[in-house]
Amino acid sequence: MKSLIVKATTALLMAAFGVGTALAAPETLQDVMKRRGLSQQDLLAASKTYTPSGKRDEFIAFSSGGQSGQVIIYGIPSMRILKYLAVFTPEPWQGYGYDEESKEVLKGGRIDGKDITWGDTHHPAVSETGGQYDGQFLFINDKANPRIAVIDLRDFETKQIVVSPVFKSEHGGAFVTPNTDYVFQTAQYAAPLEPRKFYPLEEFNEKYRGGITYWKFDREAGRIDPAKSFSIELPPYSQDLSDAGKGPSDGWSFTNSFCSERYVGGIEQGRPPFEAGCSAKDTDYLHVINWKKAAELVAQGKAQKINGHDVLMMDTAVKEGILFLIPEPKSPHGADVSPDGKYIIVSGKLDTHVSVYSFEKIQAAIKAGRFESKDPYGIPVIGLKDALHVQVSLGLGPLHTQYDSKPCIGYTSLYVDSQVAKWNYCEGKVLDKISVHYNIGHLMTMEGDSVDPKGRYLVALNKLAIDRFNPVGPLHPQNHQLIDISNDKMQLLYDMPLPLGEPHYAVAIDAAKLKPGVRYRVGTNSRTDKPHPGAVRAGEEKIERNGNKVTVFGTAIRSHFTPEIIEVEVGDEVTINMTNLERAQDETHGFTVSTYNVHMSVEPGKTASVKFVADKEGVYPYYCTEFCSALHLEMQGYLLVKPKGWKATGKTLAKANYTEKDYQAQLKKIADTQAVIDQVVGIITSYDYKAFPDVVSMVEDAFDQAGKIPDVKAKHEAAAAKKDWENACLWAEQVWQYQVKTADLGLRAKTYLEQNNARKVK
Ligand code: RUQ
Ligand code: CUA
């Protein structure tokens, strides 16, 4: 085994210095096209998406993970999936829901004291500054259990989950105001606002309510502040998708609705079902709300407390003139404010028309007090013709609209037609259509809901994949199709199967705006961004006992945990903290203990912990779950759970037969490896490596490893002097371990410098 590792390591070192191999006769491009049946058009599409090794994407998409309760992150135009980010659902790789720190985040999402371990994510939103994506935070909603999560894009981790104090479901969210003062969401299915309060359906019109919640976002803290958040009570109209005004319409928000019939089904009791009664009328309502004024009214104490939360009641909102309705065509969907903030585009799912509302006209009607009627709750209704800029027939089942970088150009998904329509919403003209596969829901252009869309690409988020991919059973993946929108005619480029839930909306941001870290300040609790009380530095590792509570303050660095043996008694409550001492990026260690259902992912600098009651006697290996180095498998230890009152046996550990010859062989191996290290150091210092922070971290880590050698060298020499060949050999082996890690880091640094065209200084 040992000699195998020596060979493997030598081979690795040789490969890193570059030893060529002979090439077989290559196929020509024509050969490949013929063999795979590709057209010129296919080649053009391929060349627009294919991203060679080492090249990166222009845009990063954050897609809802649908029923997986996660966020899916992928690159555009390559459509390569980069990460499934754990949000509402436990996710073992990230330790989410298996370590103590993330359990605290999930606890924030408990409802009525119960864990909710799944979520129906729909609409992600990137934080904005001045209406532009700023790349700092991401928000996403959970429709099933009315919640919003806050993700920090400095480390792509979920930091907070908040639960609506007044809703039972929530579809329209998350949307942000242009400076991310508020993140808002709307109720979907009307219910009494008081939690855990029953009213019969006969009192639907009186006691059931919809609403909108404006969550106050504290950017400094990077968290939602529930105490400063508020809701507005709305009629039981199934408030749906929304958008914040921008530019001239900043300060206002727009929310569509369906089932303003307030119909209650009951097919089992012989009544026509919800779907019939909820689409009976020709129009539903667009809700127009002055949220800035609403926030002022709440600050003035005009809200009422429901479940400890400020709710501005409808009559107050009407009296203060901050809430209006406008009819919109049959079963509307989508409410998308144009980049210049002048128009709001609403589609009618059961209508071929898309309605473009003019904010200027809406304001004029409000100013003039020109209302066609009042709804049953006394809310003034602005006439459709008084608010409409233009209405365009686009096709069957229009849903959502996204914007181009070119003025007046929008793209609308046509669910029933399975098409995307490109059109001019200023003039009301259809420009182009492209077929997608199949039944498109949302669509997304690059930064397409900001004040400054970037054009270039559009992704169609199709509900059905049907025949596009190799079959994998009755449950199909969904299909995200990449479309080039940089020319007059749209061109379909690529189909990407999405194998994790049903994504609804997605947002894509210019990749250059994202600057996530690659390591934490040593000892950070990544879920609170604060120093972790369980963190220790190298050499300070300890195990503390306090009654039946055992706390381990451990560290992880290639390729060992400290401590390696943890002894407890049956019934002890065990907390194991691990700090990853690595500085080199991508040197994550994982940690688990056999059969205790715990796992943590500990990235460089992070401190995480697991906690459990050692409720069964036995021997439980623990190990590192990330392949972190050639000696990863040896990154192990034992949790010994001893019966109560166990007495030590007085025996010593079994010995092996090492000889002086073995020791000499070790010394030779050490000398050979040192020669390699010296050579690598020579190469690294021949560059101006200090200009590369990543390389500096690797070099620091390498010196860390090398710095441990003198101590251990003294140990093997002392043992050799006493002819204790076992200890001499093993400590010498440990010297070599540190050398291997030093060399490994050095080689990574060297490769990095070569690939990044570092400047030679020697
Ligand atoms: S909604 S398409 Cu959340 Cu349109 Cu799904
Ligand atoms: Cu650390 Cu594997």
Task: Identify the residue with better confidence: 530 or 754.
Answer: 530
Q: How many residues does the chain have?
A: 762
Indicate whether 1 pLDDT > 60: no
H-only helix segments in 482-555: none
Over the chain, what is the mean pLDDT? Answer: 94
Q: What letters, b where the CB count within 10 A reaches 16 and e where it falls short, cover 463-494? A: bebeebeeeeeeebbbbbbbbbbeeeebebbb
Ligand nearest to the CA of 240: 1
Pocket test for ligand 1, best of 175, 346, 442, 464 (most atoms within 8 A of CB): 442
Cis peptide preceding 438, ω within 30 of 0: yes
Give the position, in ligand 2's atom list, of the atom nearest the Cα of 589: 1
How remote is the CA of residue 122 from the centroid of ligand 1, in Å?
Answer: 7
Q: How far apart are the first and last CA of the chain?
A: 40
Position 278 scores a pLDDT of 87
Enter the tokens of residue 6: 């020596």
Q: Beta strands 455-462 and 440-446: pairing type?
A: antiparallel
Ligand 2 lined by 587 (C-beta under 6 Å): no
At 448, is the pLDDT very low, low, confident or very high (cuts 50, 70, 90)?
A: very high
Position 654 scores a pLDDT of 85
Ligand nearest to the CA of 741: 2
Give the position, in ligand 2's atom list, of the atom nearest the Cα of 629: 2
How remote is the CA of residue 333 from the centroid of ligand 1, in Å?
Answer: 8
Indicate whether 13 pLDDT > 70: no
Ligand nearest to the CA of 632: 2
How remote is the CA of residue 12 from the centroid of ligand 2, in Å?
Answer: 19
Of 14-18, 204-208, 361-365, 545-549, the least confident: 14-18
Which tens digits make up the pLDDT trace of 594-633? 999 999 999 999 999 999 999 999 999 999 999 998 889 9
How remote is the CA of residue 557 from the centroid of ligand 2, in Å?
Answer: 8
At 5, is the pLDDT very low, low, confident or very high (cuts 50, 70, 90)?
A: very low
**Cα(426)–Cα(390) distance, integer angstroms:** 8
How remote is the CA of residue 550 from the centroid of ligand 2, in Å?
Answer: 24
3-class secondary-structure state, position 441:
strand
Position 6 scores a pLDDT of 47
Position 656 scores a pLDDT of 83
Indicate whether 198 pLDDT > 60: yes
Indicate whether 18 pLDDT > 80: no
Position 22 scores a pLDDT of 63
**Cα(421)–Cα(412) distance, integer angstroms:** 5
Enter the tokens of residue 749: 């640094």
Ligand nearest to the CA of 412: 1
Q: Are 257 and 284 in contact (CB under 8 A)?
A: yes
How remote is the CA of residue 152 from the centroid of ligand 1, in Å?
Answer: 24
Ligand 1: residue whose CA is nearest its atom 5: 504
Give the position, in ligand 2's atom list, of the atom nearest the Cα of 632: 2
Name residues whose C-beta falls within 8 Å of residue 385's C-beta, 6 or more positions apart in sequence: none
Give the position, in ligand 2's atom list, of the atom nearest the Cα of 624: 2
How remote is the CA of residue 400 from the centroid of ligand 1, in Å?
Answer: 8
Which tens digits make up the pLDDT trace of 248-287? 999 999 999 999 999 999 999 999 999 888 888 889 999 9
Position 630 scores a pLDDT of 86
How remote is the CA of residue 589 from the centroid of ligand 2, in Å?
Answer: 5
Ligand nearest to the CA of 442: 1
H-only helix segments in 634-724: 660-685, 693-707, 709-721
How remote is the CA of residue 623 from the centroid of ligand 2, in Å?
Answer: 8
Which tens digits make up the pLDDT trace of 67-126? 999 999 999 999 999 999 999 999 999 999 999 999 999 999 999 999 999 999 999 999
Rounded to the nearest 5 degrees, what angle is found at the Cα of 588, between the Cα atoms of 585 and 592? 175
Q: What is the mean pLDDT of residues 164-188?
A: 96
Ligand 2 lined by 628 (C-beta under 6 Å): yes
Cis peptide preceding 92, ω within 30 of 0: no
Position 2 scores a pLDDT of 44
Q: What is the mean pLDDT of residues 446-458?
A: 97
Give the position, in ligand 2's atom list, of the atom nearest the Cα of 588: 1
Pocket test for ligand 1, best of 462, 505, 507 (most atoms within 8 A of CB): 505
How many CB atoms sit inside 10 A of residue 116's CB? 19
How remote is the CA of residue 504 from the centroid of ligand 1, in Å?
Answer: 5
How remote is the CA of residue 590 from the centroid of ligand 2, in Å?
Answer: 6
H/E stretch holding 169 reads: none
Ligand 2 lined by 626 (C-beta under 6 Å): yes
Amino acid letter, residue 661: K
Indicate whether 8 pLDDT > 60: no
Position 4 scores a pLDDT of 45
**Cα(137)–Cα(157) distance, integer angstroms:** 10
Give the position, in ligand 2's atom list, of the atom nearest the Cα of 587: 1
Which tens digits make up the pLDDT trace of 33-49? 999 999 999 999 999 99
Which tens digits make up the pLDDT trace of 367-401? 999 999 999 999 999 999 999 999 999 999 999 99
Ligand nearest to the CA of 631: 2
Of 413-417, 484-488, 606-610, 696-700, the least confident: 696-700
At 7, is the pLDDT very low, low, confident or very high (cuts 50, 70, 90)?
A: low
How remote is the CA of residue 608 from the centroid of ligand 2, in Å?
Answer: 15
Q: What is the mean pLDDT of residues 402-428?
A: 97
Q: Are 260 and 281 in contact (CB under 8 A)?
A: yes
Ligand nearest to the CA of 557: 2
Position 349 scores a pLDDT of 83
Q: Which of 449, 416, 235, 259 is nearest to 325 (CA)?
A: 235
At 147, is the pLDDT very low, low, confident or very high (cuts 50, 70, 90)?
A: very high
Ligand 1 lined by 172 (C-beta under 6 Å): no
How remote is the CA of residue 443 from the centroid of ligand 1, in Å?
Answer: 10
Ligand 2 lined by 624 (C-beta under 6 Å): yes
How remote is the CA of residue 623 from the centroid of ligand 1, in Å?
Answer: 43
Ligand nearest to the CA of 124: 1
Ligand 1 lined by 173 (C-beta under 6 Å): no
Give the rounded percent of residues in the chain with a pLDDT score beyond 70.
97
Give the position, in ligand 1's atom list, of the atom nearest the Cα of 415: 2
Q: What is the mean pLDDT of residues 550-575?
A: 97
**Residue-by-residue DSSP string for 9-74:** HHHHHHHHT----PPPPPPPHHHHHHHHT--HHHHHHHHHH---TT---SEEEEEE-GGG-EEEEE
How remote is the CA of residue 365 from the centroid of ligand 2, in Å?
Answer: 66
Ligand 2: residue whose CA is nearest its atom 1: 589
At 21, is the pLDDT very low, low, confident or very high (cuts 50, 70, 90)?
A: low
Per-residue HEC secondary structure of 77-117 comes to: CCCCEEEEEECCCCECCCCECCCHHHHHHHHCCCECCECCC
Ligand 1 lined by 335 (C-beta under 6 Å): no
Cis peptide preceding 64, ω within 30 of 0: no
Q: What is the mean pLDDT of residues 667-673?
A: 94
Indicate whether 411 pLDDT > 80: yes
H/E stretch holding 219 reads: none
Ligand 2 lined by 631 (C-beta under 6 Å): no
Q: Cα–Cα distances in Å, from 385 out to 288, 326, 360, 379, 381?
A: 16, 10, 13, 18, 12
